[in-house]
Structure 1
Amino acid sequence: MNNGRILAAGTPSDLKARTSAQSIEDAFVALLPQRQRRAAEIVDLPLDSDAEPVIVARDLTCRFGDFTAVNRVNFTIRRGEIFGFVGSNGCGKTTTMKMLTGLLPPSEGEALIFGRALEAGNIQARRRVGYMSQSFSLYGELTVGQNLLLHARLFHLHRASVNARIAELVEKCDLADYIDDLASALPLGIRQRLSLAVAVVHRPELLILDEPTSGVDPVARDQFWELLIDLSRNQGITIFVSTHFMNEAARCDRLSLMHEGRVLATDTPAGLIQAKGATDLEDAFISFLEQERPGAVPALTITQARAAGPDLQQEAARRGRAVFSIQRLLAYTLREGLELSRDRIRLVFALFGTAMLMIVFGFGISTDVNNLTFAALDRDQTPESRAYLEELRGSPYFVEKPPIADYADIDRRLKNGDINASIEIPPNFGVDLKRGRPVWVSAWIDGAMPFRAQTIRGYLEGMHQLYLSDPSVKTTQPTLPLPADIEIRFKYNQDFDSVFAMVPSTLAMMLALFPAILMALAVVREKELGSITNLYVTPVTRFEFLVGKQLPYVAVALVNFLVMFVMAIFLFDVPLKGSFPALLVGTVIYVFTTTGYGMLISTFCKSQIAALFGTAILTILPAQQFSGMMTPVSSLSGTAQIIGLGFPMSYYRPISVGTFTKGLGFADLGSSILLLTLFIPVLTIISMLLLREQER
């Protein structure tokens, strides 16, 4: 097929016979219109045997634990040579490339680049080397021109020559029609040429290419090799290229055959073919493999392959007819659980992230105003003024600092934050107090934090009135009795300590934040990796896919709950006064709801970064502002109230706080549990509907 049209159809042998071609790839090129047929000829130019070595590998070895990825590799590559590295996927080619570019340190042996031992931090050596990875390493959010300009600046090309160099590469690599297109939107063949242009923008002497033509069509591959041949023969650049295409390997001056981390042979393509008496390079490679490991290349006949076909098809059809399958759902659950268990960083974040933030929020967020610093300017220096200050010193809310010298000292210390308030007692305070005259005391309060300032004001006014009403203060001024004595008692929290409210509320917020983030990332990760395609090419339904991925994170969230529950009781000393079964049932429903919330957010995101930030913002803000942590939901109005009533934490927080501090059980919390349960089908159904729309 080419440009939406079928060029030809038939068996492979028929197509090769029709075009007189030796391979399907040659047949495809022969069937193309004449204007599209471009082929890079196999290089057959003599090499300078006296050219200096550019790369020398001596017993190069790389181990990962007990696994040896590269085992004692030796080769020499001379200036201007196109040297090929041929082997099957996973044989160690990329690992060797990374050692030669300093991305991986060798376990043993050495690599010499331009006659010097390779050093990962050697900037000067990097200027002489260009590297093109298998994944192209382009910045997808930048245009073609911006990618070239960025790398030109990274290699400090002279400002006057940058535009000329970019124009030269754009013309040579045929990128003019795409100069303003984003790299992420380019066809694979164009992206390949851009990646090569980026790799050579600084005119390197050595070019290392790691499977650069993987996944590219034959025509684009030939065009790419035309560029490589020009770089080698006309510009003298040494090229080290890895590949698993034998027709590409035949274009190299010399090549090494690699298998399971070892080099099997190194020679010219013709020399390797001749050494095995083979008809082509592929047969020669297979012969070297069989020599290394007899029987390593099993053959599978078409008859054998077809024999098992009907039974498998019938079984797949039978299972695919089921509208719902618990087996398919649990298969996704198992896959998600295995992936989570093997990603240790994500697993630690999932299991212990809530505990760490519980400590931060539990100890760090408090509505208690204690340990307020004050200093006094006592301009009276009488027993009465000292007794007045003793009332402050004896208060559990205030801590005294050294006395104030003058008014300038007040301004300086308030400005520096050394004190939160200053007390000025005027002259004749004691005399006026004894004679029954009105007395006044000045208080200077730091108002940078209004809530704290108002609290300090209330403390000082209360202390002032308490001092003046003390019978031990001798005054001639009669004290009028109050019509009634008022005694204040705080039910459920008699000490008025904020930890009894903040810890249960923090538990609710953590169970909203982490499960939602983990669930959103799990779905979006499938989109980024492309594995979500399995949802559309297998009998799996959207419900099975979403719920199957949800269950592991529900289990993780329940583990988080148990950890935070133990911390609340033993670390924060917040006892559970109510029903634990009621709290547990509410928590199970709640984590299904919060993971469903993350599931819903994931349908709008295409990248994990967007999912992470989006879920965090859309969870923390409603949790703190509209779910009762700062302001009761019943006190909200308008849009704020709608947000509060539509967020699951607004219904779970009363369950958490109620069971911990108020001694509530199922009878008291039934309505909250019921309303919380309604979120599960609503969020699941909406997510199912939006998932398909997002992926069309």
Structure 2
Amino acid sequence: MSDELNSLSNPIAGNQALLENQSENETRDLAVCVEGAWKNYGYWWKSMTALRDVTLHVPTGNIYGLLGPSGCGKTTLLRCIVGRLQLNRGEVTVLGQRPGSRGHEVPGRAVGFMPQETALYKDFSISEMLHYFGHLHDMNRKDILSREKFLLSFLDLPSRSKKICQLSGGQQRRVSLACALLQQPQLLLLDEPTVGVDPLLREKIWSHLIHISQTSRTTIIITTHYIEEARKANRVGLMRSGRMLAEDEPSRLLTIYNQTSLENVFLHLCLEDQNRLQPNLMNSTNENDQTNTTVSINNQNIPPPDVVNGETPHSQIRRKELVKNPVLRAKRAAVDCCICPKAHKIYASMVKDLTMIKRSIGFLIFQFFIPVVQISLFCLCIGRDPQHVPMALFNSEAINGFPTGNLSLELLNKINSEQVHFTPFNDFTNAMNAVKEGHYWGVAVFRYNFSQAIINKLIFAKTDPATLNASSIHLYLDMTNQQVSFVMQNVILTSTQLFLKDVLSHHKVDPALADPPVIVEIPVYGAKGQKFLNFAAPGMMISIIFFLAIGLTALIFVVEKKEGLLERSWIAGVTTVEVMLAHIIVKFFIQFIQIILMIIFADVIFQVKIEGPVILAMALIFLQGICGMSYGLLISAMCEQEVEVMEVALGSVFPILLSSGVIWPAEGMPPIMRFLSNFTPLTHVVEAMRCIVSRAWTLVYFKVWFGFVISGAWTCGFFTLAAILFALRK
């Protein structure tokens, strides 16, 4: 009684209370309720508004036709409804809860979504496509087969074993519709479902939609280019430039605007909207607006549509409840994203990945042999001493070629001709010119009295400058290639030492006098003749698996994201973490075979001995492969196009490779670079691998277990950043 008196004494407050009660009653029976929705794309300096204060109400069990030209915001609104986009301001409620709330099945099994593009895996058969979404929705095999049989018949689809790529465009859209209808969802969102469909089948589809909306109380939101087709809907919304022009029952819109078709109603509203945005036409439009506020039919006043230009009778009351605080929204979204991965969704994603692999056996075999080819090329081309290095020779002791009886010939015979190949010259100037022209890497010169000077130096202990000069080999080298010049010097020095020992032995003198005053004892680790290959090979094995995982993972996810495949899976309820875990699990087996083949080739074929536990070395390589996958996921989260992936991947490969000590020791870097190298994902892992391979160290040593810890830390970091970026890019 007091409420009635209050409403009589204060009619404005009474109207507000009445509208609030009416709003609450309506909201309870609404499957989808959008209030004051604003959505912007881009940043403040290049922001674009896609939705402008949009209000939409879809009662449970109704078919709602969403009409508007391309680019008016229909798809953006649908993505907000299914939880794929977060509003900048406003509120969305779907089936009584916010999309993406903890425990809510939107996105998930409660919603069926058919995007504007087909978003199907082209190499899958129709049955495999339906089974994939069936497993995502946790349907058992019997239910999937039952629904598959019905949908194949209902949508007039070809054989269940037919591949998607073998279907026409219209047939692919029907398969896409079948995937949306598969689990019999409570909410069905269809973006242009009847484009390219036979008129008879279109009528059949509409009959089915009407049937399920009436019998199962399925709520359906459908966008269509066929405006008159929307007259079959219980309710329609007309959008233009991100605004909702009108929302009501089709018959009421036709009556209110006194038109014979929805297309004319839409044209009328578009003209009004355009005039309203032009200040010089405001006066003329006000009169038109006033004449259309009510229409009298059979002596009854018909109120205007429920939504006109974004406003509802109770939108002003609801507006105070809209969430505008971005920090609050971010916290709420963060809590909702912390959902434990579901086994059936990981299983469905794994089956999908395995099916894709099965469809490309040749590419799979190629993946197995990529590491083998790369490690083979590395062992064949890197770390070996240069062979057959051409070098000029000017031997003053030689008369008419190489006469016998001089010690210079004995020394030349000691030099390994497989590594250094001499070409004699009779003129020193000609020999130098040949080097300057690039035909040889240097000139070796023997003085005319070399033999006598060697005897005087070694036997008679003469050490005057003339004797020392004549008893030496004079090398004029091209030092532009450090490795070649180093090999030449090393070969000649080693051969000279052997030659001097022979001369001393021939004259009954202890040959140990020719040894340098340095004694290299038995090495603590490795061998005296350690090669550069043994130093670089462990790092290359780590690097090959790491970089292969980056490219493969990043490209796969970008392609799926670009074609809308990931989007559809996410709307089906798959989380980013579930997709990434499934991918890593499947690639585990591929990497396992890659690592085994690579180690076999490196050990058996190229004699890169692994002194420590082979299992430990394989575990470290595998863990670094997982790290590469995580980094690939991060790249795919940052990039939208394949070209961007290649640029980022290639742009990061060489800095990581060069600064991590794989090719050259970190001790050879400047202090600042050596410090920075500690912050690459390879440096400490490569060092741990070398300790296992060359020193036979195990996990009890700091460098080994620290390498495992660092690899795991980088993996978790990349994985977490990728998951966050995927979530933010929703």
What is the TM-score when the length of structure 2 is the normalising length? 0.50
- How far apart, CA to CA, are the structure 1 residues paired with 2:516 and 2:597? 52
- Which residue does the alignment assign to 1:552? 586
Among 682, 685, 689, the residue aligned to 2:720: 685
Check 1:664–1:326 CA distance in 2 against 1; reply closer, same or farther (3 A cut): same
**Aligned to 1:518, which of 552, 563, 577?**
552
Amino acid at match of 1:394: K
Question: Identity across aligned pairs (percent)?
Answer: 13
- The residue type equivalent to 2:211 in the other structure is T
Residues 558 and 454 (structure 1), Cα distance of their counterparts in 2 relative to 1, 3 Å cut: same
The superposition leaves residues 43-83 of structure 1 with CA deviations (integer Å, 9 ceiling, x where unpaired) of xxxxxxxxxxxxxxxxxxxxxxxxxxxxxxxxxxxxxxxxx
What letter matches 2:488 in structure 1?
A: I
**Distance 1:646-1:321 versus aligned 2 partners, 3 A rule:** closer
Alignment counterpart, residue 663 of structure 2, candidates 627, 630, 633: 630
Displacement after TM superposition at 1:676 (Å): 2.1
1:648 counterpart residue number: 681
RMSD across aligned positions (CA): 5.0
CA distance in 2, matches of 1:593, 1:457: 43
Match 2:707 to one of 628, 651, 672? 672
Q: Which of residues 443, 460, 467 is equivalent to 1:422?
A: 443
In 1, distance between residues paired with 2:622 and 2:530? 30
Q: Deviations along 1:174-209, whole A, 9 cap, x unmatched?
A: xxxxxxxxxxxxxxxxxxxxxxxxxxxxxxxxxxxx
For 2:529, what is the secondary structure of its paired residue?
coil
Q: Is the 8 A contact 1:435 1:475 kept in 2?
A: no
Which of 690, 702, 711 aligns to 1:657? It is 690
**Which moved further from structure 2: 676-685 or 353-362?**
676-685
Number of aligned residue pairs: 436
Q: What amino acid sits opposite 2:447 in the alignment?
A: P
Residues 578-608 of structure 1 deviation map (CA, whole Å, 9 limit, x = unaligned): 1123223323322221211222222222212
The reply to whether residue 443 of structure 1 matches residue 464 of structure 2 is no
Distance in 1, matches of 2:559 and 2:364, equals 15
Letter in 2 for 1:368: D
Take 2:380 and 2:513, find their aligned partners in 1: how far apart are those partners?
Answer: 44
- Counterpart position of 2:350: 333
Q: Which amino acid aligns with 1:649?
A: L
Deviation at 1:497, TM superposition (A): 2.5
Does the aligned pair in 2 maintain the 1:517–1:598 contact within 8 Å?
yes
Spell out, residue by residue over 1:509-564, the C-alpha distance to the aligned partner (whole angstroms, 9 max, x if none).
11111011111112211222122323652322222222222332233222210110
CA drift at 1:364: 0.9
Q: Distance in 2 between matches of 1:450 and 1:628?
A: 19
Query: Is the contact made by 1:434 and 1:475 (CA closer than 8 Å) also made in structure 2?
Result: no
| Shift, 1:366, TM fit | 0.9
Distance 1:514 1:368 in 2: 28
Shift in CA distance, 331/483, structure 1 to aligned 2, threshold 3 Å: closer
Give, in whole Å, the separation in 1 of the partners of 2:337 and 2:724. 21
> Which amino acid in structure 1 is aligned with residue 610 of structure 2?
L
Larger Rg: 2
Higher relative contact order (CA 8 A, sep 6+): 2
TM-score where L is the length of structure 1? 0.52
Which aligned pairs between 1:279-298 and structure 2 lie closer than 5 A? 282=199
The answer on whether the counterparts of 1:320 and 1:539 sit within 8 Å (CA) in structure 2 is no
Match of 1:353 in 2: 370
Q: Secondary structure at the match of 1:374?
A: strand
- Tell me, in whole angstroms, the C-alpha distance in 1 between the residues paired with 2:218 and 2:344: 22
Q: What letter corresponds to residue 411 of structure 2 in structure 1? A: E
What is the deviation of 1:297? 11
Q: What is the deviation of 1:678? A: 1.8
Q: Please state whether the residue corresponding to 1:373 is helix, strand or coil.
A: strand
Displacement of 1:302 in angstroms is 3.4
- Would the aligned equivalents of 1:523 and 1:599 in 2 still touch at CA under 8 Å? yes
Decide whether aligned partners of structure 1 residues 329 and 524 sit closer, same or farther in structure 2, where only a CA change above 3 A counts.
same
2:229 maps to: none
Q: 1:604 to 1:321 in 2, by over 3 A?
A: closer
Q: 1:552 to 1:28 in 2, by over 3 A?
A: closer
Counterpart residue type for residue 530 of structure 1: G
Distance, in Å, in 2 between the alignment partners of 1:443 and 1:332 is: 67
**What is the one-letter code of the residue matched to 2:687?**
P
Looking at structure 1, the residues matched to 553 and 530 of structure 2 have their Cα atoms a distance apart, in angstroms, of: 37
Residue number in structure 2 paired with 1:391: 411
Decide whether the 8 Å contact of 2:432 with 2:443 is kept in 1. Answer: no
Aligned to 2:360: 343
Q: Answer whether contact 2:408 2:450 (CA < 8 A) is retained.
A: no
Query: CA, structure 1 residues 435+617, in 2 after alignment: closer, same or farther (shift >3 Å)?
Result: same
Secondary structure of the residue aligned to 1:487 is coil
Q: Return the alpha-carbon distance in structure 2 between the equivalents of residues 216 and 380 of structure 1.
A: 95
State the 1:481 CA deviation.
8.1
SS of residue paired to 2:445: strand
